[in-house]
């Protein structure tokens, strides 16, 4: 449910009539328009808002205004208000949009809004398409105490081009923005307390012309010195001076700090008002904003309508600030509010809670529940607040547990009350789960279990049937609790517990709540993936995606598709994974701007798959798109995955030290998540060490992991055990001992059986390749080719390529042998074309190569000349002409070459000759 906004927060305060003209400050504000940010920072009462309203009236540029308060500490609400403020402007049409920020606003109203930076990027892009230079004013920024909002503002300031928009922040304290960097870069205009203080000339104009006091120069100087140009102090002093005969005596007694002066003057003002006005001021001081009907509700049975009193207060200059041009909404000066509240608490302490409850009722009736919650908590009426907080949860379909404001509301309630409320216990449990406080979360979940069981027992004892709405709420609570328990089990690596709780939830809600059921299915899919049961993982993850798309939770759906593609890759179904990524990209991009989170990850996944299949142009395009979108459209795990892929590319390019550096960085980025980490960084580093010839480090890794060929294998460590097999193969190449060969073959055989039983053909292909390579190393070419043929058969249908190429020269030799024996020749030729030329050159001398890889008979000098021309692609006629031979003689030489190389066609002869070093690879 989308909460309405208070439009009064978007109105620019109108300039005061007969205000003191401050050209020196207006000039500085105008000059600041050439920079990114204007900061007006000073304590309360220095006229920040008044100055801005006067400047806006003369600056002749479109200005959007937002008065901030505590509600805007919620990042989503903050951006909703920013967009709404910008939409008050009359601007030239933005490309592709009917109204500035309309797409962003739609995204914010969705159940799972994208990250703030992604939305801000979209908004900045739209602003750059506007022809006018726009000004955005954020007033009272000191009310923001939210790190996510501060981070969003830093992103905004960093990326906003000053030629399109100028940002103005008015605040009582400096915001946590990179002010020093902006200052050093000449992108910041600052107005602070010394700048804002009234000069003696301005003080004289204010006191004598605006306030019509007719004070002497001495009296003006005395007040100016006592207040140090503090505008509110001067204003309050002037109000107190009105009607006094002995101004000199009053001014002499006017001393003390700002706060003492303020307290004194408010007492003077308050005591001089009629009793009815005093009562109105004190009673309405609990309100952040005032309108006639709200004041009527708080005052209850007042004889004069609230709107009339507000208009009277404005006319009498009684520190009332209009918030719109219709004179419907107002606020008191902040310090005036503080002082009134102090007097109210001192004089009528028992009355404060009642006033807050009246305000609470008005806000609830006007569908402004967050404000109602604020007043219920202020009244310490915790039962009422708890009711409203639970309603706010329900109104947001159970997804409100991710809202920091909601969590803070719950934490404000007494713990003993929260423990009696099922919804509050579940919601707080979710917050604790997400922050990693598992034991505290478990305690809250147990409270919820107890409460639901109590509900069931009460029903049974009363033998009553609940209403359909009560039953729906009860089922929803059961479902959310079940998913929370499943999530808790997953966080503890309790796979069996995850499956148990998630299955129970699905059985309970399979057809009644697709959102909760979708979350349960996704947890089941992940659990079965960790167990190695990929078919079940595919089934449940597909179900989760379908449910979450139905309910509009596209972010969860995209994350699910990315996960499902990972499972498909583990099954060796590369084309299925490609299609999943492409389908997800279609519906992600169909949403328009802003780009949905997860889109970056989809491009990364496609790049990796296309690279494996040898489609390098497509792989490059998707990697560039992935890096362009960057974090603004990525899932949290994306940087880790990107670094791993970049490390793989460095390995393939032979830049092994750079690959290790990238793996080190990836290791620092890794954060445990529900998605299994099937390729640990330590194992990947070990594979790089093997390429570098650092067998000692690789063997040390084996010892640290305590790996043995006699271990009981499990799916989560499959990659590590395959890496262990690679270590044994390299060790065998060094030592040439039969024991090492037998250990490697035993481990590979066990791994293959486990992968085959689990339907993981991707792993099966890699294992078969390693079996072929170690047999080739021992000279068992026939056995090696049997393993290779099975690998090729599995790999061909899915277009695998890099998995062979990355094995280097030993694989090239085997592939040439396979080509010579007509084993999947078309596929083998395609794989061979992807090998780097240096990999096709043997590193061993012919004397040390296995017998099957040697020439059957040396080639003659003339045969080598013919072979070189064949490699250049010359026809028999061209060869005859170049060598001054007959075409028939060329054919005889060609037949002899085929026989000596054990080849059957030109391509095979050239490939074999290159592998044997007869022909250069260049």
CA–chain centroid gap for 844, Å, is 52
pLDDT value of residue 256: 35
pLDDT value of residue 848: 38
Contact residues for 859 (Cβ-Cβ < 8 A; gap 6+): 867, 897, 900, 918
Segments making up each domain of the chain, as ranges: 7-196, 200-269, 678-841, 855-915
> Is the torsion defined by CA of 278, 284, 286, 288 positive or negative?
negative
Q: What whole-number distance in Å separates Cα of residue 28 and Cα of residue 423?
A: 53
Per-residue pLDDT tens over the stretch 223-252: 887 677 778 778 777 877 777 777 887 777
pLDDT over 80 at 759, yes or no? yes
Per-residue pLDDT tens over the stretch 447-498: 999 999 888 887 767 666 767 777 777 888 888 899 999 999 988 889 999 9
Please answer whether residues 81 and 4 qualify as being in contact, where contact means their C-beta atoms are separated by less than 8 angstroms. Answer: no
DSSP annotation string for 699-746: HHHHHHHT--TTSPP-GGGHHHHHHHHHHHHHHHHHH--HHHHHHHHH
Q: What dihedral do alpha carbons 639, 645, 649, 655 form, nearest 10°?
A: 60
Instruction: Please state the rounded mean pLDDT for residues 610-621.
Output: 94
Omega prior to 594 cis, within 30 of 0: yes
Highest mean pLDDT among 18-27, 124-133, 223-232, 269-278 belongs to 18-27
pLDDT value of residue 254: 61
DSSP annotation string for 4-54: P--GGGGPPPPPPTTPPP-HHHHHHHHHGGGSSEEEEE--TTS-HHHHHHH
pLDDT over 60 at 853, yes or no? no
pLDDT value of residue 139: 95
pLDDT over 80 at 662, yes or no? yes
Q: Taking Cα atoms as reference points, which of 222, 269, 221, 215 lies closest to residue 245?
A: 215
Per-residue pLDDT tens over the stretch 854-869: 555 678 888 888 988 8
Alpha helices per DSSP H over 802-915:
802-805, 809-820, 825-833, 861-871, 876-883, 887-901, 906-915
Q: Which helix (H) or strand (E) holds 165?
A: strand 165-171
pLDDT value of residue 382: 95
- Of 326 and 215, more confident: 215
Instruction: Please state the rounded mean pLDDT for residues 770-782.
Output: 92
Q: What whole-number distance in Å separates Cα of residue 921 and Cα of residue 29?
A: 70
Per-residue pLDDT tens over the stretch 675-705: 888 899 999 999 999 999 999 999 999 999 9
Is 336 exposed, middle or buried (CB count within 10 Å of its CB: 0-12, 13-18, 19+)? Answer: buried
pLDDT value of residue 392: 85
Distances (CA, A) of 407 to 93, 376, 402, 744: 40, 16, 8, 55
DSSP annotation string for 371-434: HHHHHHHHTT-HHHHHHHHHHHHHHTTT-GGG-HHHHHHHHHS-HHHHTT-HHHHHHHHHHHHH
pLDDT over 80 at 784, yes or no? yes
Instruction: Please state the rounded mean pLDDT for residues 97-126.
Output: 80
Q: What whole-number distance in Å separates Cα of residue 193 and Cα of residue 223?
A: 17
Domain spanning 855-915: CATH 1.10.10.10:
yes
Please provide residue 519's backbone torsions phi and psi, each rounded to the nearest 5 degrees. Answer: -65, -40
- Of 261 and 660, more confident: 660
Q: Taking Cα atoms as reference points, which of 470, 369, 357, 364 lies closest to residue 423?
A: 470
pLDDT value of residue 847: 36
| pLDDT band at 874; cut points 50, 70, 90 | confident
Fold of 7-196: Rossmann fold (3.40.50)
According to DSSP, residue 330 is labeled E
Please provide residue 139's backbone torsions phi and psi, each rounded to the nearest 5 degrees. Answer: -95, 145
Instruction: Please state the rounded mean pLDDT for residues 348-355.
Output: 92
| pLDDT band at 407; cut points 50, 70, 90 | confident
Q: What whole-number distance in Å separates Cα of residue 804 and Cα of residue 297?
A: 78
Token duo for residue 306: 């609230």
Taking only Cα atoms into account, the Rg of the chain, rounded to an integer number of angstroms, comes to 38
Q: Indicate the SS3 state at residue 170.
A: strand
Token duo for residue 599: 């889109």
pLDDT value of residue 807: 93
Instruction: Please state the rounded mean pLDDT for residues 265-270.
Output: 67
Pairing state between β 37-41 and 188-192: parallel
Pairing state between β 134-139 and 63-67: parallel
Please answer whether residues 903 and 801 qualify as being in contact, where contact means their C-beta atoms are separated by less than 8 angstroms. Answer: no
Number of Cβ within a 10 Å radius of residue 315: 9
Q: Which helix (H) or strand (E) holds 339?
A: helix 334-347
Residue tagged 């404001």 (tokens): 405
Q: Among 91-105, 579-593, 801-815, where is mean pLDDT lowest?
A: 91-105
Please provide residue 243's backbone torsions phi and psi, each rounded to the nearest 5 degrees. Answer: 85, -5
Q: What whole-number distance in Å separates Cα of residue 100 and Cα of residue 89?
A: 9
pLDDT over 60 at 92, yes or no? no
pLDDT over 50 at 843, yes or no? no
pLDDT value of residue 658: 94
Please answer whether residues 527 and 499 qualify as being in contact, where contact means their C-beta atoms are separated by less than 8 angstroms. Answer: yes
Q: Among 134-143, 548-557, 565-574, where is mean pLDDT lowest?
A: 548-557
- Of 270 and 391, more confident: 391
pLDDT over 90 at 602, yes or no? yes
Please provide residue 85's backbone torsions phi and psi, each rounded to the nearest 5 degrees. Answer: -65, -45
Instruction: Please state the rounded mean pLDDT for residues 802-829.
Output: 91
Residue tagged 């449990």 (tokens): 429
Indicate the average pLDDT of the chain. 86
Please answer whether residues 479 and 430 qualify as being in contact, where contact means their C-beta atoms are separated by less than 8 angstroms. Answer: no
Per-residue pLDDT tens over the stretch 6-21: 888 999 988 877 788 8
- 3-state SS track over 63-98: EEEEECCHHHHCHHHHHHHHHHHHCCCCCCCCCCCC
Please answer whether residues 525 and 503 qualify as being in contact, where contact means their C-beta atoms are separated by less than 8 angstroms. Answer: no
| pLDDT band at 840; cut points 50, 70, 90 | low
Instruction: Please state the rounded mean pLDDT for residues 820-825.
Output: 89
Per-residue pLDDT tens over the stretch 305-339: 999 999 888 877 677 888 887 788 998 877 678 77
Token duo for residue 359: 């305000």
Q: What whole-number distance in Å separates Cα of residue 486 and Cα of residue 540?
A: 14
Give the number of C-alpha atoms closer than 13 A to the C-alpha of residue 414, restricted to the C-beta side: 8
Q: Indicate the SS3 state at residue 331.
A: strand
pLDDT value of residue 449: 92
| pLDDT band at 37; cut points 50, 70, 90 | very high
Q: Taking Cα atoms as reference points, which of 587, 592, 543, 586 lies closest to residue 563?
A: 543
Give the number of C-alpha atoms closer than 13 A to the C-alpha of residue 912, restricted to the C-beta side: 26
Instruction: Please state the rounded mean pLDDT for residues 511-518.
Output: 82
Q: What whole-number distance in Å separates Cα of residue 144 and Cα of residue 155?
A: 16
pLDDT over 80 at 258, yes or no? no
CATH annotation of 678-841: 1.25.40.10
**How many helical (H) and strand (E) elements, i.e. helices and strands, does the chain have?**
47, 7
Q: What whole-number distance in Å separates Cα of residue 878 and Cα of residue 830?
A: 27
pLDDT over 70 at 140, yes or no? yes
Please answer whether residues 431 and 480 qualify as being in contact, where contact means their C-beta atoms are separated by less than 8 angstroms. Answer: no
Q: Indicate the SS3 state at residue 772.
A: helix
């Amino acid at each position: 449910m989308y909460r309405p906004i208070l439009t009064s927060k978007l109105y620019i305060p109108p300039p005061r009539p007969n205000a003191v003209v401050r050209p020196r400050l207006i000039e500085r504000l105008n000059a600041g328009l050439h920079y990114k940010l204007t900061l007006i920072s000073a304590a309360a009462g220095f006229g920040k808002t008044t100055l801005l309203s006067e400047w806006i009236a003369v600056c002749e540029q479109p200005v959007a205004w937002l008065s901030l308060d505590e509600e805007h500490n919620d990042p989503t609400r903050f951006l909703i208000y920013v967009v709404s403020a910008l939409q008050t402007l009359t601007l030239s049409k933005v490309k592709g949009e009917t109204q500035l920020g309309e797409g962003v606003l739609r995204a914010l109203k969705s159940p799972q809004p994208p990250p703030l930076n992604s939305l801000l990027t979209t908004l900045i892009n739209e602003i750059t398409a506007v022809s006018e230079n726009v000004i955005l004013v954020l007033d009272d920024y000191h009310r923001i105490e939210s790190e996510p909002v501060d981070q969003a503002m830093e992103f905004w300031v960093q990326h906003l081009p000053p030629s399109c928009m100028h940002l103005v922040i008015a605040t009582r304290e400096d915001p946590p923005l990179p002010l020093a960097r902006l200052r050093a870069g000449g992108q910041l205009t600052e107005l602070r307390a010394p700048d804002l203080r009234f000069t003696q000339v301005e003080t004289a104009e204010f006191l004598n012309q605006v306030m019509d006091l007719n004070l002497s120069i001495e009296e003006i100087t005395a007040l100016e010195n006592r207040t140090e140009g503090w505008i509110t102090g001067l204003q309050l002093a002037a109000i107190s001076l009105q009607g006094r005969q002995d101004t000199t005596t009053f001014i002499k007694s006017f001393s003390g700090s700002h706060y003492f002066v303020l307290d004194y003057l408010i007492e003077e003002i308050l005591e001089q008002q009629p009793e009815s006005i005093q009562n109105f001021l004190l009673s309405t001081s609990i309100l952040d904003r005032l309108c006639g009907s709200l004041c009527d509700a708080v005052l209850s049975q007042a004889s004069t309508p609230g709107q009339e009193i507000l208009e009277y207060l404005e006319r009498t200059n009684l520190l009332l600030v209009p918030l719109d041009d219709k004179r419907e909404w107002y606020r008191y000066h902040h310090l005036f509010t503080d002082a009134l509240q102090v007097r109210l608490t001192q004089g009528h302490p028992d009355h404060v809670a009642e006033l807050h409850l009246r305000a609470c009722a008005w806000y609830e009736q006007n569908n402004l529940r967050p404000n109602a919650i604020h007043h219920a908590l202020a009244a310490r009426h915790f039962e009422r607040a708890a009711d409203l907080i639970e309603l706010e949860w329900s109104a947001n379909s159970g997804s409100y547990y991710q809202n920091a404001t909601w969590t803070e509301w719950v934490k404000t309630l007494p713990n003993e009350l929260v423990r009696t409320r099922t919804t509050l216990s579940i919601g707080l449990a979710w917050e604790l789960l997400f922050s990693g406080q598992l034991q505290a979360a478990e305690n809250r979940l147990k409270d919820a279990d107890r409460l639901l069981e109590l509900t069931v027992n009460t029903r049974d004892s009363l033998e009553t049937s609940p209403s359909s709405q009560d039953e729906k709420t009860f089922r929803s609570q059961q479902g959310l609790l079940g998913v929370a328990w499943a999530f808790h089990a997953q966080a503890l690596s309790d796979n069996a517990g995850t499956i148990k709780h998630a299955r129970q939830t699905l059985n309970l809600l399979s057809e009644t709540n697709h959102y909760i059921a979708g979350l349960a299915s996704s947890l089941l899919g992940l659990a079965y993936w960790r167990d190695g049961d990929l078919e079940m993982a595919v089934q449940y993850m597909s179900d989760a995606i379908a449910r979450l798309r139905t309910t509009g939770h596209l972010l969860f759906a995209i994350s699910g598709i990315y996960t499902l593609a990972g499972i498909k890759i583990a099954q060796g179904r590369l084309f299925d994974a490609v299609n999943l990524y492409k389908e997800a990209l279609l519906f992600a991009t169909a949403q328009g701007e802003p780009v949905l989170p997860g889109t970056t990850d989809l491009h990364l996944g496609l790049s990796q798959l296309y690279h494996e299949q040898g489609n390098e142009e497509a792989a490059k395009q998707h990697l560039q798109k992935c890096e362009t979108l960057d974090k603004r459209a990525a899932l949290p795990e994306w940087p880790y995955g990107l670094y791993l892929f970049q490390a793989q590319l460095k390995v393939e390019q032979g830049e092994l030290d750079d690959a290790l550096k990238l793996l080190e960085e990836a290791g620092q980025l890794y954060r445990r998540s529900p998605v299994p980490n099937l390729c640990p960084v330590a194992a990947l580093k070990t594979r790089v060490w093997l390429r570098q010839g650092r067998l000692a480090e690789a063997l040390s890794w084996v010892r640290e992991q305590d790996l043995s060929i006699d271990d009981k294998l499990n799916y989560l460590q499959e990659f590590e055990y395959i890496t262990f097999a690679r270590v044994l193969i390299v060790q065998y190449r060094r030592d040439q001992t039969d024991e090492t060969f037998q250990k490697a073959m035993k481990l590979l055989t066990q791994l293959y059986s486990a992968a085959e039983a689990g339907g993981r053909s991707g792993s099966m292909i890699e294992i078969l390749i390693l079996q072929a390579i170690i047999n080739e190393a021992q000279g068992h070419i026939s056995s090696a080719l049997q393993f290779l043929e099975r690998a090729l058969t599995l790999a061909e249908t899915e277009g695998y390529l890099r998995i062979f190429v990355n094995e280097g020269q030993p694989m090239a030799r085997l592939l040439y042998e396979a080509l010579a024996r007509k084993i999947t020749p078309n596929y083998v030729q395609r794989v061979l074309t992807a090998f780097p030329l240096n990999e096709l050159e043997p590193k061993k001398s012919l004397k040390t190569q296995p017998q099957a890889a040697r020439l059957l008979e040396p080639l003659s000098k003339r045969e080598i000349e013919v072979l070189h021309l064949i490699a250049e692609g010359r026809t028999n006629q061209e060869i005859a002409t170049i060598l001054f031979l007959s075409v028939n003689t060329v054919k005889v030489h060609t037949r002899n070459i085929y026989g000596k190389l054990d080849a059957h066609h030109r391509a095979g002869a050239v490939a074999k000759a290159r592998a044997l070093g007869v022909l250069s690879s260049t």
